[in-house]
Amino acid sequence: MKALESGDLTQQINDQYKGDFAKLKDSVNESIYNLANMVREINETVATVSKASAQISQSTQELNSSKESQAASIEETTVSMSEVTDKVTSNTKHAQTAMNIHKMQTNKPLKVVN
């Protein structure tokens, strides 16, 4: 019984008893066996939960990494689009200036050289 008190569920009562004491011994041994099985199942469940928790943690880290990568990609795309917009605006201004110069040149009277 001292082993059972200290949590050792591998020990059983092996002495021989008669009558009610034999029934009590059998009940205690069965209880020890059942407790040992419950502890084993709890340990297996803890291991399963621990493994699942580690997998969830890893998946969360991968998801965060992917999210950060996508955010960086979106930021790069936004910067690129802004640069393209600036170039288009600049090219439009240059084209407008060139058209104005062309109009001014075509509206000038031609000088006749003799």
Helix, strand and coil in the chain, % to nearest 5: 80, 0, 20
Q: How many residues does the chain have?
A: 114
Instruction: Output phi, psi for 36, to 5 deg.
Output: -60, -40
pTM (global) more than 0.85: no
- Predicted confidence pLDDT, tens digits, the chain (114 residues): 778 778 888 889 889 999 999 999 999 999 999 999 999 999 999 999 999 999 999 999 999 999 999 999 999 999 999 999 999 999 999 999 999 888 888 877 666 665
